[in-house]
């Protein structure tokens, strides 16, 4: 064994506390790093829950206060759109789970495939969302910017309550869409890392954490869909 090889081996050992190169300096071992990463994501999701929780609270309160207007507003939404989007998202949750499985098993090509499938489904969801927003714009149901409801279904409903409903609709789905965009970006980063071969069974928890986030955003939609579209909606 040459002396330089011994030296470089020692250097690597001291620089990374003796384990794999993916270990960050503040952790003792890869197991600790993995647990910290996942735990951090769970804590972050707890924050997110309260974030959406406050909006859900406000929404439910106003739904009770202005029931007829909110009911009419729900009728103005297209449940078929919502159902399609729900289906797309559930499918994306499946491909996401498969990505985590692939990362854990160290199957790079499979990981890349499922990551791209998940991102694609996310983009389809956003496309549908955008189309739906355009419909709302044409129906003149955008509060603050273009709000002159003329639809048959809204006749007789108190206008300010419908406006409030649409306001919450855009706020909640918009915030959800923003989370989707962030999620797609996150998966893009994962795809690049996987492409570069930087995802291994030892640090697959990055994909797992991204997956937790993705599933969480899906779950938010699972609550948004019935709250906005189904309760007294058009179906």
Partner 1 sequence: MSTAVAEVPVESRIHYLNASYGIKSWLFTTDHKRIALLYLGSITLMFFIGGAAAVLMRLHLIEPAGALVQPETYNKLFTMHGVVMVFFFLIPSIPATLGNFLVPMMIGARDLAFPRLNLLSWYVYITGATFTLYALISGGVDTGWTFYTPLSSHYVNTHVIATALGVFITGFSSILTGLNFIVTIHKMRAPGMTWKRMPLFLWSMYATSIIFVLGTPVIAVTLFLLGLERLFHVGIFDPAIGGDPVLFQHLFWFYSHPAVYIMILPGMGVVSELITCFSRKKPFGYIFIAYSSLAIAMISFFVWGHHMFVSSQSVYAGFIFSALSFAVAIPSAIKVFNWTATLYKGSISYQAPMLYALGFIGLFTMGGLTGLFLASLATDVHLHDTYFVIAHFHYIMVGGAVMAYLGGIHFWWPKITGRLYHDGWARVAAVVIFFGFNLTFFPQYMLGYLGMPRRYAVYPAEFQVLNVMSSAGASILGIGYLIPFIYLLWSIRYGPVAGPNPWGAKGLEWETPSPPPTDNFEESPVVPDEPYGYAKPEHAHV
Nearer to partner 1, 35 or 90 (CB): 35
Q: Stretches 21-29, 87-95, 127-135, 210-218: which one binds partner 1 (CB under 8 A)? A: 21-29
> 146: helix, coil or strand?
strand
Contact 199, 108 (CB under 8 A): yes
Contacts of residues 185-194 at CB distance under 8 Å and 24 or more positions apart, as own/partner, are 186/210, 186/213, 186/214, 187/99, 187/115, 187/118, 187/119, 187/122, 187/214, 188/119, 190/99, 190/115, 191/112, 191/115, 191/116, 191/119, 194/103, 194/108, 194/111, 194/112, 194/115
Distance of closest approach, residue 5 Cβ to partner 1, in angstroms? 27
Distance CA 121, CA 95 (A): 9
44 is a contact residue toward partner 1 (CB under 8 A): yes
Of 57-86, which residues contact partner 1 (CB under 8 A)?
A: 57-58, 61-62, 65-66
163 is a contact residue toward partner 1 (CB under 8 A): yes
149 is a contact residue toward partner 1 (CB under 8 A): no
By rule CB under 8 A, what string of x and - marks binding of each residue 165-204 to partner 1?
--x---x---------------------------------
Distance CA 227, CA 56 (A): 9
Q: Stretches 46-54, 96-104, 130-138, 216-224: which one binds partner 1 (CB under 8 A)? A: 46-54
Instruction: At 141, give phi and psi (nearest 5°).
Output: -120, 30
- Environment class of 15 (CB within 10 Å of its CB; exposed 0-12, middle 13-18, buried 19+): exposed
Nearer to partner 1, 5 or 145 (CB): 145
**Choice from 18, 35, 189, 198 touching partner 1 (CB under 8 A):** 35
List contacts with partner 1 (CB under 8 A): 24-28, 32, 35-36, 39-40, 43-44, 46-48, 50-51, 53-55, 57-58, 61-62, 65-66, 143-145, 160-161, 163-164, 167, 171
């Amino acid at each position: 064994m040459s002396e330089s090889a011994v030296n470089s081996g020692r250097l690597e050992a001291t620089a990374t506390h003796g384990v794999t190169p993916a270990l960050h300096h503040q952790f003792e071992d890869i197991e600790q790093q993995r647990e910290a990463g996942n735990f951090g994501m769970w804590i972050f999701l707890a924050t997110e829950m309260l974030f959406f929780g406050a909006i859900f609270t406000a929404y439910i309160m106003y739904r009770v206060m202005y029931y007829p207007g909110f009911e009419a507003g729900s009728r103005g939404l297209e449940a078929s759109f919502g159902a399609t989007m729900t289906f797309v998202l559930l499918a994306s949750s499946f491909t996401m789970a498969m990505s985590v499985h692939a990362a854990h098993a160290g199957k790079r090509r499979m990981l890349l495939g499922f990551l791209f499938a998940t991102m694609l489904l996310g983009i389809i969801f956003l496309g549908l969302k955008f189309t739906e927003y355009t419909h709302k714009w044409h129906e003149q149901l955008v509060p603050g910017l273009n709000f002159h409801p003329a639809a048959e279904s809204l006749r007789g409903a108190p206008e300010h309550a419908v406006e409030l409903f649409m306001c919450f609709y855009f706020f909640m789905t918009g915030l959800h869409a923003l989370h989707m965009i962030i999620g797609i970006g996150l998966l893009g980063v994962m795809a690049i890392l996987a492409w570069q071969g930087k995802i291994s069974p030892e640090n697959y928890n990055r994909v797992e954490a991204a997956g937790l986030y993705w599933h969480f955003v899906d779950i938010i939609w699972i609550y948004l869909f019935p709250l906005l579209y189904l309760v007294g909606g058009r179906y």
